[in-house]
Structure 1
Amino acid sequence: MKQLSLCLLLCVLFIFPLKSENYDIIIQNVNIVDVEKGRIVKNKDVGIQQQVIKKIAIGNQLSASDSTQVINGKGKYLIPGLWDMHVHFYFPDKEYLKMYLAKGVVGVREMTGYRMEWRDSIGKNTNVPRIIFSSQIVDGPTPWFESDIPVKDCKQVIQIVQEAKKSESKFIKLLSLVPRDQYMAIVNECNRLNFEFAGHVPYSIGIIEAAKLGQKSNEHLNGLLLSCSTQEKFLHARLDSLLNVVSKEEKLSGIMKMQIMGCTTKALWSFNQAKADSVIHELSKYNMFQCPTLGVKHRFQYNELDWVYTDNRYDFFPPPVQKRYRPDAETLKKLKPFERELKLQEKLLYQMHSEGIKIIAGSDQGCAGFNLHDELEYFVNAGLSNAEALQTATINAAIYMHKEQKMGSIDENKLADLVLLNTNPLENIQNTRDIKLVIFKNKIIQPDPLLEAVKEVNIKISNIDPFEKKFD
Structure 2
Amino acid sequence: MVYRLAFLIVTGLFIGCSSQEILDVDKVIENVHVISMGDEEIQQDRSVLIKDDRIQQVIKRGEVAVADTVERIDGNGGYLIPGLAEMHAHIPSRDASREYIDDVLFLYLANGITTIRGMLGDPLHLKLREQAAQNELLSPHIYTSGPGFGGNIESTEQARQRVRDQHEAGYNFLKIFPGPSLEEYNAIADEANAAGIEFSGHIPASVGLQRALEAGQTTIDHLDKYVEALVTDSSSIQEVEDPGVIYFGMHLTPYINRDRIQEVAQMTAEASTWNVPTQALSEHVLGPDSPEELSQRPEFQYMPDEMVNNWIGSKQSITGHEGFTTELAEQYLQLRRDILKTLHEADAGLLLGSDAPQIFNVPGFSVHHELRYIVEAGLTPYEAIQTGTVNPAEYLGKTQDRGTIAEGKVADMVLLEENPLDDISNSSSIAGVMYRGNWLSKEEIDKRLSEIAAKYE
Alignment TM class, shorter chain as reference:
0.7 to 0.9
Partner of 2:111: 103
Other-structure match for 1:308: 294
Judged with a 3 Å threshold, the aligned counterparts in structure 2 of structure 1 residues 280 and 164 are, in CA distance, closer, same or farther, namely same
How is 1:349-368 mapped onto 2 (pairs within 5 angstroms)? 349-364=340-355, 365=358, 366-368=361-363
What 5-or-longer segments of structure 2 have no aligned partner? 1-12
Q: Which runs of 5+ in 1 are unaligned?
A: 1-10, 141-149, 240-254, 463-472
**Aligned partners of 2:251, 2:200: CA distance in 1, in Å?**
26
Q: Contact (CA 8 Å) 2:91, 2:101: kept in 1 or not?
A: no
Q: Which residue of 1 aligns with 2:305?
A: 319
- Residue of structure 2 aligned with 1:118, choices 128, 146, 153: 128
TM-score, length-scaled by structure 1: 0.83
Secondary structure of 1:73's partner?
Answer: strand
Identify the residue that residue 193 of structure 2 maps to in structure 1.
191
Q: 2:146 is matched by which residue type in structure 1?
A: S
- Using the size of structure 2 for normalisation, the TM-score is 0.85
The correspondence for 2:390, drawn from 388, 392, 395, is 395
> What is the deviation of 1:227?
1.0
Q: Which moved more, 1:292-301 or 1:307-316?
A: 307-316
Q: Which residue of 1 aligns with 2:85?
A: 83
Matches of 1:397 and 1:190, distance apart in 2 = 21
From the superposition, tell whether residues 229 and 66 of structure 1 become closer, same or farther in structure 2 (CA, over 3 Å).
same
**Would you say the 8 A contact 2:177–2:203 is kept in 1?**
yes
The percentage of counterpart residues that share the same residue type is 26
- In the TM superposition, what are the counterparts of 1:67-466 in structure 2 within 5 Å? 67-90=69-92, 92=97, 93-96=100-103, 97-114=105-122, 115-116=124-125, 117-121=127-131, 123-125=134-136, 127-140=138-151, 150-231=152-233, 258=243, 261=246, 264-265=249-250, 267-304=252-289, 308=294, 310-326=296-312, 334=320, 335=324, 336=326, 337-364=328-355, 365=358, 366-457=361-452, 459=454
CA displacement 1:361-398 (0-9 Å, x = unmatched): 11112211100100000000000000000011111111
Could you say what secondary structure the match of 1:383 adopts? coil
Structure 2 counterpart SS, 1:119: helix
- Alpha-carbon RMSD across the aligned residues, in angstroms, is 2.9
Question: Which amino acid in 1 is paired with 2:138?
Answer: N
Residues 255-299 of structure 1, C-alpha deviations (whole Å, 9 max, x = no match):
966399399355322111222222222222121100010111111
Q: 1:17 to 1:423 in 2, by over 3 A?
A: farther
Residue matched to 1:66:
68
Partner deviation per Cα, 1:87-132 (whole Å, 9 max, x = no partner): 1124642231211111111111110103414334352135121111
**Contact 1:126-1:441 within 8 A present in 2 as well:** no
Distance in 2 between residues matched to 1:330 and 1:189, nearest whole Å:
41
> Residues of 1 paired with 2:14 and 2:75: CA distance?
24
8 Å CA contact 2:227–2:248 kept in 1: the answer is no
Q: How many aligned positions are there?
A: 426
Partner SS, residue 432 of structure 1: helix
Conserved? CA contact 1:154–1:181, under 8 Å:
yes
Query: Which amino acid in the other structure matches residue 436 of structure 1?
Result: A
Pair 151,35 (structure 1): closer, same or farther in 2 beyond 3 Å = same
Structure 1 residue 165: Cα displacement: 0.6
